[in-house]
Structure 1
Amino acid sequence: MSKKAFFYCLFSFLLLGGCEGQGLQPELGLNPRISQPGDDSSPSLAATGMAWIAPGSAQVRWLDFSTGFGSPLPGLNRPDAQPISVSVDSAGKRFALVRSLAGRTELLIYERNLAVLRPIGLVPAGVPAKVAISGDGRVLAVQVSRGGRWQVELLDLP
């Protein structure tokens, strides 16, 4: 099965509850490396790989589909920060991240090719909880709490 067919089948499976006639089977070499008991890290898929929050390690991980191995994310993970939500664009180059650091929650963009992490401000101020980035990496959907009310905000990125 081609990668494209695999992703269509995976999305169909997630959205519709199954793939008829495709015979989707777990990738045995891959799954043991990313799954652990109690893993609810909500992986984010890209055409080239997958990002997820590794349970128990407080780190965002990247798995390169071409090699089947993880790749480092220099400048992204900090020992004093707890990732809350992560999303990756379809090319696997731009990550959106919500993390807790020093008692505050922050929204960040990580450029994997440049190893650059930059904060994204929310106006008006709010507490981000979950994030999703568009396939082209230009739009963020952020679940934000403001004054005890939840909102979803769309932010355009340069």
Structure 2
Amino acid sequence: ALGATREPSLSGRWLALISGRGGREQVMLLDLERQQPQPLLGLNRADAQPLSVSVDAAGEKIALVRQLEGRTELVLYRRSLQSLQPIAMVPNGVPKAVQLQADGRQLAVQVSRNGIWQVDLIQIP
């Protein structure tokens, strides 16, 4: 009943994925113990295209690479605060794929810089 799904990220009891319904895609978070999706207020935007998603083992932090208004950005969502925080690529680059560490303290992101793929490790405060 999820429609088309892709980019799964499994951590503990949490499964984050990108789900497509009616021509648009959004991030979903499933609690596998309760077998139900969790609300992600403020994360999904109708004008954003999610590309890659990752969740930590607590189900609290979700890292997301998305396209918005012609640019690709990396954002970190905190479920308890329902807050979205952009994470800058330093030096500048285009993020493609992201993976959160299980404890939510660090993420690895695949970044394109001048046509060369690199992996950045970013500490999360």
Q: Tell me the TM-score normalised to structure 2 length.
A: 0.92
Is 1:46 aligned to residue 20 of structure 2?
A: no
Residue 64 of structure 1: aligned partner: 31
More helix by share: 1
Tell me, in whole angstroms, the C-alpha distance in 1 between the residues paired with 2:87 and 2:36.
30
Letter in 1 for 2:9: S
Is 1:110 aligned to residue 77 of structure 2?
A: yes
Contact 2:110–2:118 under 8 Å retained in 1: yes
Residue 112 of structure 2: aligned partner: 145
The 4+ residue runs of structure 1 with deviation greater than 6 A are none
Contact 2:14–2:55 under 8 Å retained in 1: no
1:1-158 correspondence runs (5 A): 33-34=1-2, 36=4, 39=5, 41-55=6-20, 56-158=23-125
Deviation, structure 1 residue 81: 0.2
Name the structure, 1 or 2, with higher relative contact order (CA <8 Å, separation 6+).
Answer: 2
Letter in 2 for 1:45: L
Deviation, structure 1 residue 78: 0.1
RMSD over aligned Cα atoms? 1.3
Question: What is the aligned length?
Answer: 123
The runs of 5 or more residues in structure 2 that have no matched partner are none
Deviation, structure 1 residue 74: 0.1
The runs of 5 or more residues in structure 1 that have no matched partner are 1-32
Q: Tell me the TM-score normalised to structure 1 length.
A: 0.74
